[in-house]
Amino acid sequence: MEDRPRYMISIAAELVGMHPQTLRVYEAKGLVRPRRTPGNTRLYSDADLDRLRLIQRLTGELGLNLAGVETVLRLEDELTRLRRRVDRLEREIREEVARVHRHYRRDLVLYRDPSQTLPDTKQRWTSTG
């Protein structure tokens, strides 16, 4: 849901406290990629707004220029991509382990050492009287 485009540029700019022209500049620099309607209207998602707020923090609080912001965003995107990959690989490993576990459980056979004898259970149940 957070990737669903829903806000026109004027609303998006108001929600993040920026001027619409700033959003256009960020788009031109590739820092944010709003979707477009068939009529070419920009539509920003909640994820886009989060990214714009991050850009705002990086430039305002940390004093990064747009080249620095671009590097941070690229690294953030790479980190997100790698986290998704790790999550997918962990899920695949769990599924494979479960599959192998199920396979081996069918093949398990109770082993009894032939040198050990079983206790004679008949003696316990017979009466002495």
- The structural domains of the chain, ordered by start, are 7-107 (1.10.1660.10)
Residue-wise pLDDT for 68-98, tens only, equals: 999 999 999 999 999 999 999 999 999 999 9
pTM for this model (two decimals): 0.68
CB-based contacts of 70: which residues, under 8 Å, 6+ apart? 29, 30, 31
Name the packing angle between helices 66-107 and 46-60 (round to 10°): 130
- pLDDT under 70 in the chain at which residues? 1, 105-109, 117-129
Burial class (CB in 10 A: 0-12, 13-18, 19+), 25: middle
